[in-house]
Chain A
Amino acid sequence: MIRLTGGRIFDPLNGIDGAVRDLWIADGRIVPEPPPGTPAETIDVSGCAVMPGGIDLHSHIGGGKVAIARLLMAEEHRARRESRGPGRRAGTGEVTPSSFLTGYRYARLGYTAAFEPAMPPANARAAHHEMADIPLVDRGAYVLLGNDDFFLRLLAEGAGAEAIADYVGWTLRATGALAVKIVNPGGIAAFKYGQRRLDLDERAAPYGVTPRAVLLALSDALERLAVPHPIHVHGCNLGVPGNAASTLATIRAMEGRRIHLTHLQFHAYGSEGPRRFSSAAPAIAELVNACPNVSLDVGQVMFGQTVTASADTMAQFRNAAHAHPRRWVGMDIECEAGCGVVPFRYRDKSFVNALQWAIGLELFLLVEDPWRIALTTDHPNGAAFTRYPELVRLLMDKDFRDAAFARLPRAARALSILPSIRREYSLFEIAILTRAGPARLLGLERELGHLGPGARADVAVYRDDPDRERMFARAHLLFKGGRLVVRDGEVLEPEPRGAVHLVRPEFDPAIETRIRAFFESYRDQRLSSFVLGEDELAEAGEVVVHPCRGAPPLPRAREEATAP
């Protein structure tokens, strides 16, 4: 048994805001305080903040597009190479680190879970292979639907909500997924037919369905299946000036249904001002604040070289013109999806990039309810996850934020209200954005994201430091499943493999007959070689199956926060 004593606990799901309390760990779990005299190893963490391990709900860490991104980022893989250490594997890379380094770097930041948000069904086995080699973090994936020909045909021929739900349920099981992601609804399929743009109510080639219909059908399917995480949406017109109109329309289209809007920064652009590019973050935040059915993550841009990897071939084909270095890869994938990979350098002297940075921060600061907004950079699309500490400081420290803002080009500053926003996030709120909130949004809160008895003992301890970037850059201690794996930012125990989190919803298996016929006729693949066996997943470590009881409600907190 381990007793962490003297630390200030930030455990939003249990309403604890900085109270000094002991935390007890046994058999990999948080346990209630044992009777006096129980032998325990006591670790003094006085002066430290104690939080659940960080949870990244949107980070591209596994699958074919990451492999392509690494290929295109050859320079950084030459420049940053790490040798093996005692029990540690070697690797390379900065913004697209190799799998072992990805795990070590997350652990160093105090993170213990990360979720791959765009797994094409055809790539599921490969994505799980890769994620199994990311040590120290739990993992899971959202399977891509909404551009696959089987689904689009069901929708176009009016097969009905039940059949669609059965297919979605079947896919979640067959691919070992936790949730469903839609990217540019219908647009990836349309791009295969040369279509270059698609708005919410435009018809998508070749089946003539609209993104609105795709969104509603998949959203209803998930509700029927009672999958905890609602539809995870990368909407229409990513990156296009003026796309806020589509985003607002998308929110309204849901008519109260739960929706998670991902990397919303890339979808919050106006078309005002002298350069026809402006911030629409205030208008979007206002609607989000008024719609308790909406959650989001930001996809903050941080300045520097990175690479953008997305299933959105339509958007990435547009972005290819801005590739830096000048190279890009597109791919049509298996009558299901696509992928586009474009290296990109966000420059603080660029009007557009500076405004993107400001728009992301405006969203963070204008969305009122921290339970509905998750901290992400859409790794590596806005920046690598290793930039989170700097991002946290931007949210917590107005002076730091203002100083960064002052360095932006005048034209960009003129279009942002950022300096007028006084809000500074508290440690409690940061713990919501990076732990408790994502756990609740994903339906993991039974196991992860809190420090109450029964939770997995994934515990991050940070030395309190007024420089929040320094504070969050290196966990003082990190416990993974009760084992101490990081001390002062150094990985001690690289071995433990995280668990894989998924759902296995119930559905009518009769749908399999139709799926089989489609696979054999058009994809020329047998379901026996496509479906990921339960034993296969179990080979790669612990499998945690989360119950399908519907999306959890989004209250501000389980109970009133207790003051320290």
Chain B
Amino acid sequence: MQASRARLEREVVCPFCALLCDDLEVAVEGERLAVRDKGCARAREAFARPLPEDRRPRLRGEPVPLEAAAGRAAELLGSAGLPLFAGLEADLAGLRAVVALAERTGGVVDPMTGEGARAQLRAVQRSGWVAGTLAEARNRPDLVLLVGDGWRAAAPRLFERVLAPAARLDERPRRLLQLGGAPPREPEIEHLPCPEAALAEQVALLRALLRDRPVAAPESLRALADAIRTASYRLLLWATESLPAPAVLVHHLAALSRELNARGRAVALPLASSPGPVTARQLLLWQTGVPDPVGFADGAPEQDPVRWAGERLSAEKAADLLVWIDASGFRPPPVVSVPAVLLIRAGIDPPFVPEVLIPIATPGLDHPGDLYRTDTVVALRARGLRRTALPSAAEVLAAIAGALPDPAR
């Protein structure tokens, strides 16, 4: 390694999960990035992923200039009946461009992060909840209930940053409990085994116990209920996208977060896996007034979790064009049989040869970008670390919008 020629960037914001850690040390040498300190395994891999030699956009696999790719994408959008804008792994500037384009072309905007995210929205919209942010979760709780073990994959540094941090404002001793999932490797976390299929039922039962309902429940669950009852600040934490039976689970967890506040305090903190969809939901809420999935089919925004669900629209070919945006290389696009325009992180090979493929830059690595954390309250600006000629999602979408047949429409 020619470490001497590398520049060390400190306090780097990591865009690769919705915790948005901002303490990374990254060595920058030309286009090569290497996490030197603080990053998790995912960050180390994602920062280090090399950029390919060939970064040209492609039409059906054939390299073309950006103008040609944008022009073809515009042509497809201009003739699409119902374009689906999905993935939404981008920074705020890119997502602003997505919403504007969807509005203009009568499209649908859905990150397609699955049933968990949708179930959570439904629970909040129907009955509400009491939530907390990362710093509250780090400092206040004397009891943390982890539901399932999805938290580890969703937020690799959760343990050191939130569950068992080096310093807390409140020094009351803390109990960490995990219901279900694989046995945690950290000795600080007590494990309450529960098969995945029974998790929803156990949480429902737990809620019934905490409401003093006369239910038959195993002793271990009664002990958990007692621990929760006697704690003063409880944190309920789960990873939204990996919950089994999310509709039932999130309903009960949201209800628990409200009911427990009758005595003492409680907050919920769900973890999203990536910042793009969190950012997109906040943006949609202010620009359109409604959360995802949003359809502009009749010109005005409309939230409809059934009609505009991207999974269904693409499976049934109700959407006749897929525009997939993933600037960070998080998720492969769904394999669809309709034409697709893929804007994905340079160096990621899509699982199929799309009509249009445009390699794009990654916010936080190749250019500055604003991203929202999993708690939705905190937005961070991730700065750029290196110069590449790659266009950002916002730039590509602007080029496509500029090439649409009727710019004045």
Contact = CB atoms under 8 A, between A and B. Distances in A.
Given A81-B301, A83-B299, A67 B286 contact: yes
B104 interface: yes
Given A125-B381, A334-B378, A90 B291 contact: no
Contact of B125 (A71, A90, A332, A529): A71
A341 B379 CA distance: 21
A123 interface: yes
B303 A74 contact: yes
B383 to A, nearest CB: 9
Contacts of A193: 232-233, 265
B132 A331 contact: yes
B128 to A, nearest CB: 4
B289 A96 contact: yes
A494 to B, nearest CB: 13
B140 A192 contact: yes
Given A125-B379, A206-B170, A332 B22 contact: no
A82 B378 CA distance: 30
Nearest to B21: A524
A129 B378 CA distance: 12
A70 B284 CA distance: 11
* Residue from B130, B139, B302, B377 whose CB has the most chain A CB atoms within 10 Å: B377
The range of chain B's interface size is 35 or more
A404 interface: no
A420 interface: no
Interface in B111-163: 121, 124-136, 138-140, 161
A191 B261 CA distance: 10
Interface stretch (A97-105, A406-414, A500-508, A542-550): A97-105
A126 B373 CA distance: 11
A536 B368 CA distance: 11
Interface stretch (A251-259, A322-330, A443-451): A322-330
A329 B124 contact: yes
B376 A334 contact: no
B22 to A, nearest CB: 4
B296 interface: yes
Interface in A20-38: none
B3 interface: no
A122 B302 CA distance: 30
Interface string A82-110: 11101001111100111111000000000
B287 interface: yes
A528 B11 contact: yes
A333 B286 contact: no
B249 interface: no
A101 B258 CA distance: 32
Interface in A118-154: 120, 122-123, 125-126, 129-130, 133, 149
Given A81-B301, A123-B377, A335 B135 contact: yes
B130 A90 contact: no
A149 B377 contact: no
A523 interface: yes
A78 B307 CA distance: 14
A525 B161 CA distance: 10
A507 B399 CA distance: 45
Given A329-B124, A329-B130, A524 B161 contact: yes
Q: Which 3 A-B pairs have the closest CB atoms?
A: A83-B299, A98-B289, A81-B300
11 contacts: A90-B103, A90-B300, A91-B300, A92-B288, A125-B380, A129-B379, A194-B264, A327-B126, A330-B130, A335-B136, A525-B378
Given A77-B303, A331-B377, A334-B135, 5 more contacts: A64-B376, A86-B408, A97-B289, A341-B128, A522-B169
